[in-house]
Amino acid sequence: MNETAVSPLAPAGFPDLPPVPGVELATLAAGLRYKKRADLFLAKLAPPTTVAGTFTQSLCPSAPVDWCREILPAGGARALVVNAGSANAFTGSLGETAAELTATTIAGRLGISATEVMLASTGVIGEQLPTEVLGAALLQLGGSLEASTPSSWGDAANAIRTTDTFPKGAAATAQIGDRSVQVVGIAKGSGMIAPDMATMLGFVFTDASVSSSALQQMLTPAVDASFNRITVDSDTSTSDTVLLFATGAAATPEITGPTSPGYAELATAVTEVSLGLAHQIVRDGEGATKFVEVRVTGAETNEAAKVIALSIANSPLVKTALAAEDANWGRIVMAVGKAGQRANRDALGIWIGPEQCAEGGVQKPGYSEETASKHLQEDEVALTVDVGVGNGKATVWTCDLTHGYIEINAGYRS
């Protein structure tokens, strides 16, 4: 396992996150893969907690993803268990059994039903979970909820890390009627969208009272606006999972749909927390030295704009140019051209930061490469492209592609 230095784009520290009534946290160093650090996380959720989820599009999903998809329609959750180090993906029927055993053990320990236990695993693909070690650890983990010093959000965010160089957390509040509710999230991921240790996991908790269907209506667009708009290397994990839990402990009037009072406010807070977590994942992108915002306007539709923006954000040649702080905007033209979405070459506008490089299909007269290069020397850079055919727009976030990425991924298992 490499000891990697903390990303230069990391926030100054882990944010101060408030407790969320109805959520109890526990973490444990189970030694499943890592030594001397917590690698197992449990959130106990008070009744009547509801849950919504979004999962990887991979056609080879992990056993925990299959498990969550199966139990999600019931809409309730009493616990979440996450382990780091082993993904329980591509592990066949033994993997299914390991997932079921995990849920059953925690359920037995907490006196709940196994089908109310959400699961997530992240780590190496193709290795079986060591079920005996895990079983004992789960019993201990359940017991530790009664400890005098409960685990914090920071402990939890640390326990779910793999190649992450810093723990990730975000919080917001929402006003529902005259009451304020908490929205707190933690996440892991640094090779989003990547496999192995680099799965993207996000868990968001609120003490509002929300029906599971309203919660899902809220989560889907929040994920689309955040976790689905970041990319580190275009690879997609077998295990990507985002779960949103609402404990109802704030005793606010139940939100049952988009027209319920407080729906919009809570949806905004959930999106804000999701976006905060997503940006932190990009900031921890493997080998990243630049946080890059790619904005596309003038596309046929918003969806087309997103495809073009991701084509730019995923292009190895754009990303290596950014690493070199090289204002090589011809590579942006290339990435627009290969995206397969309508664009008017002869009306294309390209900006690096505030400096417009291209206009009307050619280099802009008076374009200053010096100004563009200066912008690229910042830690946070912005690329803007107008493709000149419509009103569709989208923003996505990525990082640059550096020797660090190769270093981490070519050395990672050894």
Residues serving a catalytic function are: 199
Amino acid type, 229: R
Whose Cβ is closer to its own copies: residue 48's or residue 95's? 95
Please select the residue that binds its own copies; options are 92, 108, 143, 257, rule is CB under 8 A: 92
- How far apart are the C-alpha atoms of 59 and 52, rounded to whole Å? 21
Whose Cβ is closer to its own copies: residue 155's or residue 240's? 240
CB of 268 to its own copies, least distance (A): 31
From the list 111-119, 242-250, 276-284, 330-338, the region that binds its own copies by CB under 8 A is 330-338
Q: If you ran DSSP here, which 8-state letter would residue 393 be given?
A: E
Please select the residue that binds its own copies; options are 109, 279, 331, 375, rule is CB under 8 A: 331
**Binding to its own copies, residues 147-206 (CB under 8 A):** 191, 193-196, 198
CB of 129 to its own copies, least distance (A): 13
CB atoms within 10 A of CB 93: 8
- How far apart are the C-alpha atoms of 142 and 151, rounded to whole Å? 12
Please select the residue that binds its own copies; options are 97, 326, 371, 395, rule is CB under 8 A: 326
Whose Cβ is closer to its own copies: residue 26's or residue 358's? 358
83 binds its own copies, rule: CB under 8 A: no
75 binds its own copies, rule: CB under 8 A: no
The 3-class SS string of 185-199 reads: EEEECCCCCCCHHHC
The pair of structure tokens assigned to 55 is 């999962």
CB of 126 to its own copies, least distance (A): 4
Whose Cβ is closer to its own copies: residue 123's or residue 202's? 123
Q: If you ran DSSP here, which 8-state letter would residue 4 be given?
A: P
Task: Note the helical H segments in 284-329.
Answer: 302-314, 316-323
Whose Cβ is closer to its own copies: residue 177's or residue 340's? 340
Whose Cβ is closer to its own copies: residue 345's or residue 354's? 345
Please select the residue that binds its own copies; options are 345, 368, 379, 380, rule is CB under 8 A: 345
8 binds its own copies, rule: CB under 8 A: no
Please select the residue that binds its own copies; options are 14, 31, 46, 58, rule is CB under 8 A: 58
Please select the residue that binds its own copies; options are 268, 334, 371, 374, rule is CB under 8 A: 334
120 binds its own copies, rule: CB under 8 A: no
Please select the residue that binds its own copies; options are 302, 362, 368, 378, rule is CB under 8 A: 362
Taking phi over 0 as left and psi of -120 to 50 as alpha, with beta for the rest, 260 belongs to: beta
The pair of structure tokens assigned to 169 is 């957390």
CB of 170 to its own copies, least distance (A): 27
- How far apart are the C-alpha atoms of 118 and 90, rounded to whole Å? 19
Contact between 75 and 118 (Cβ < 8 Å): no
Whose Cβ is closer to its own copies: residue 12's or residue 410's? 410
Q: If you ran DSSP here, which 8-state letter would residue 74 be given?
A: G
Please select the residue that binds its own copies; options are 140, 260, 363, 395, rule is CB under 8 A: 363
**Binding to its own copies, residues 365-404 (CB under 8 A):** 401-403
338 binds its own copies, rule: CB under 8 A: yes
The pair of structure tokens assigned to 159 is 């326990």
Beta bridge partners of 185: 170, 204
89 binds its own copies, rule: CB under 8 A: yes
DSSP codes of every residue in 180-244: EEEEEEEEE-SSSS-SGGG--EEEEEE-S-B-HHHHHHHHHHHHHTTGGGEESSS---S--EEEE
323 binds its own copies, rule: CB under 8 A: yes
267 binds its own copies, rule: CB under 8 A: no
- How far apart are the C-alpha atoms of 204 and 188, rounded to whole Å? 12
Please select the residue that binds its own copies; options are 162, 236, 271, 297, rule is CB under 8 A: 236
Q: What share of the chain is helix, strand, coil (3-state, %, to 5)?
A: 35, 25, 40
Whose Cβ is closer to its own copies: residue 233's or residue 272's? 233
Handedness of CA 359, 365, 366, 370 (dihedral sign): positive
Cis bond before residue 48 (omega within 30° of 0): yes
**Binding to its own copies, residues 125-144 (CB under 8 A):** 125-127
Helix or strand run (H / E) with residue 144: helix 131-144
Please select the residue that binds its own copies; options are 233, 272, 284, 355, rule is CB under 8 A: 233
